[in-house]
Chains A and B, each alone.
Chain A
Amino acid sequence: MISAPGKQEQLRLVGWLRWRLFVNSLRTQRGKIDLISRIILSVGIVVVVLVVGPLLGAGSWYAISHGKSIILSTEIWFVFLIWLLLPLVITGFGAESDPASLLRFPLRYSTFVLLAFAHGIFDPVAVAALYWLLAMLAGIAVASLGALLWAIPGLAALALFNLLLNRAIFAWLSRWMAQRRTREILGALFILVMFSFQLIGPLTGRYGNHALPMVTCLAPAGQLLPPGMAASAITTGHAGRAGRASAELMGLLVYSGVLGLLLSIRLQAEYRGENLSEARRETSAGRSTVRAGWNVAGFSPTVAALFEKDLRYLIRNSTAYLNLLAPPLILIVMGLGNGGSHAKVPVFMRATSFFFPLSVVYVMLILVGLAYNNLGYDGSGLPMLLVAPIRFRDVLVAKNLLHTLVVLAEVLAVSVLGRFLVGPTPPVVVWVTLAGALFILLTNLAAGNLVSLYFPRKLNFGQMKRQQASGLAVAASMGTQVLLAGLVAGTYFLSRWAGNLAWCGVALLVLAGAAWMAYRRVLDLASGIAWKRREVLVTELTRTG
């Protein structure tokens, strides 16, 4: 009879597993490129984290030595919010790697709990936050060694609370993320939160003065929350009010205790083998008559069917809403930020001549990038398109048609918004802008179709994290935008020099004509390319994990 390995051995084995998974991920070119890009990105983040540490330390020193408790409180709230929110943003409201997958082995409950905590402690954001708390502790020690008596338990209790909060959030998130419907609701919520952050600045600018008394009223309530309690325990303890400081430390521990209880309920459920199914409850109300598919005027039945499929995919993809809603919402944000008054619109946007073209450029920049991986969401369905007796150009035509309609709708939306924000745009500007937009769109569709066939990458629904196209596709997209910016700017300045802006529109229309021919040529080649590259397409787009 064998017995389960000890806790240390189990933890060592899990550590080895993670290490091997990492090493093996470097076997592929893609894994190596991902690691290099992560290292490059991390350098900047590490520098920021390292610089913020001494700043927080200096702030704490100043707060304790000059009796400015508000500074200490602000710093603690800052660390708390970063530790709380950044992991959620980084994982895109998604569940992290699942220790429950190890439950098939004789894993002890204590090991299971330790693994859950290890995830929290070795999270880069937690490491940064702990470093900041240590820097604050150093600042407090320099200001007054006596204050350490309260700062050490205060900040330690806060760190414990944050760790438990982080674990509890992810434990509950993984429960919700296990089911598609709740996963998509959370995805939508994530988008809403992201936009809400965008609105904070403009709304503060517009309503800040009216809201200030209300916020001031609520400020004392902040002291009843863990970050406020930690700050207050340190400052009141340092001021000699040991009774109140002790009570606040106890309060922090009570918060941690409640969280610990909630977390243990979740972890025990997971440990017992709770296995949430993807499927929703079966209902008999689902029966209905099959309706005939759509017709799209001017296009073949094949393109119509593909267009219908792509539109349904778009509607059912909460992640795509982020791209679709961004342009008009950002313009609304800018409008709000300037009090909604025409006179207060920023200088570069104030002139009626500039608002519309800049808005359209913004729309194009956000949306044309999607054309460079336009098979990404087809995923495991792609082989069906390859075994069906269709020309692959029809697949691309349907996607391009949908893309064009989305761009048109967005351009229409921003033009209506512009009418309200800055007034009517001069006709010559509309003419030049639309001609330029046509040129940019056609060129990007042509380039995007080629890049999508040569560098495809699977995209997952409802997932916000790491959803970019392949590195080469991104580089191709950026290169095309730089080239287009040069061409459009050159055309614009030449026509300005010639003294007639309308000629710019004509020139851009000629360029659009050339882009149309290039687009048609790409479509003619598309079926042959897809047939030649079908193996790569299937491998990349049906990849799991």
Chain B
Amino acid sequence: MTDLAVETNGLCRRFGELEAVRNVNLRVEAGQFFGFLGPNGAGKSTTIKMLTGLLEPTAGSIRILGLDLVGNPVDVKCQIGVVPEGLALFDRLTGPEYLTFAGRMYGLDRVTAADRAQELLDFMGLADRAKSLIVDYSHGMKKKLAMAAAVIHGPKVLFLDEPFEGVDAIAAGTLKAMLNRMIARGATIFLTSHVLEIVERLCSHVAIIHRGDLVAQGSIDELRSGVSARRGDGQKLSLEQIFLDIVGGERAAVPELSWLE
């Protein structure tokens, strides 16, 4: 039996009348680079918030590295790193101050936190802005800093909500290099992204959520085979084609806008 890094059973979340996530059963094996996809409003961010303890599920269970999240929140949090939707930065600190703070929040001693913060700042190309407050950083710099803070304690599972949104190609390259290195060292990465090309290039496995339901899960090759078999055309499909096929984006013809020539 393989070790599961992330496992959910019957995960649900309601917001009043709206059932944002419905009976989701995720299986992410340790060491996988896992992409969690879905159209806007499908329930991706709600799911990742529940997986990281920021949102309470209405029903169902979550196990991270075999530990029940509700029963052992602190133990689980020690093992994971998170870059949440709003980045969760304390923007009146400088980059180094924030990283050493984050390191100590995850139990690193003062000196180790400072050493790793320095290394991360150099790696992310942020060392030259060590005296600037985070509020003065560009969006890409904030993303890199949030990523640095998420990995400073060497997490075994990394949750990233839209890590490449608003990041330029150079910064994205740095982030991808770091993530690939983490995978090589045995970490598990769970990310959501709208950029399907990046997911296809980075991830070995994906799950697709649509209107709150998990509609597909598996390796990209498995999904490709399934969709190809259903279409019966034998064509090698891109992740975008697989995605559109699964969430129904190609079913209805895209209507013309009458005033656009």
Contacts and interface: CB of A to CB of B under 8 A. Distances in A.
Interface of A: 180, 278-280, 282-295, 301-302, 304-306, 308-309, 312-313, 316-317, 377-391, 461, 531-532, 534-535, 538, 542
Contacts of A285: 131
Contacts of B105: 302, 305-306, 384-385, 388-390
22 contacts: A180-B133, A278-B136, A290-B100, A292-B113, A293-B110, A312-B93, A316-B133, A379-B91, A380-B86, A380-B87, A384-B84, A384-B105, A385-B105, A386-B54, A387-B52, A388-B77, A389-B106, A389-B107, A391-B74, A532-B56, A534-B55, A535-B56
A289 B77 contact: no
A381 B89 contact: yes
Contact of B53 (A280, A288, A308, A387): A387
B66 to A, nearest CB: 16
Nearest to A394: B105
A383 B96 contact: no
Contacts of A293: 100-101, 104, 110, 113-114
Given A313-B92, A380-B91, A461-B92, A286 B74 contact: no
B92 A286 contact: no
A391 B80 CA distance: 16
Contacts of A180: 133, 135-136
A387 B82 contact: yes
Contacts of A382: 88
B72 to A, nearest CB: 10
B206 interface: no
Interface of B: 52-56, 73-78, 80, 82, 84, 86-93, 96-97, 99-102, 104-107, 109-111, 113-115, 117-118, 121, 127-133, 135-138, 149
B31 to A, nearest CB: 22
B142 to A, nearest CB: 10
Contact of A286 (B75, B109, B110, B128): B128
A531 B73 contact: yes
A384 B104 CA distance: 12
A186 B54 CA distance: 37
B114 to A, nearest CB: 4
Contacts of A290: 96, 99-100, 114-115, 117-118, 121, 130
Nearest to B109: A301
Contacts of A385: 105
A311 to B, nearest CB: 11
Contact of B89 (A289, A380, A461): A380
A291 B131 CA distance: 12
A134 to B, nearest CB: 46
Contacts of A381: 88-91
Contacts of A316: 92, 133
A286 B131 contact: yes
Contacts of B129: 282, 286
Nearest to A278: B136
B88 A292 contact: no
A305 B104 CA distance: 7
Contacts of A287: 127-128, 130-131
Please provide the 8 A-B residue pairs with the shortest distance between their CB atoms, ordered closest to farther: A381-B90, A305-B104, A389-B77, A292-B110, A286-B131, A383-B88, A384-B88, A388-B105
Contacts of A538: 54-55
B86 A305 contact: no
Contacts of B102: 384, 388
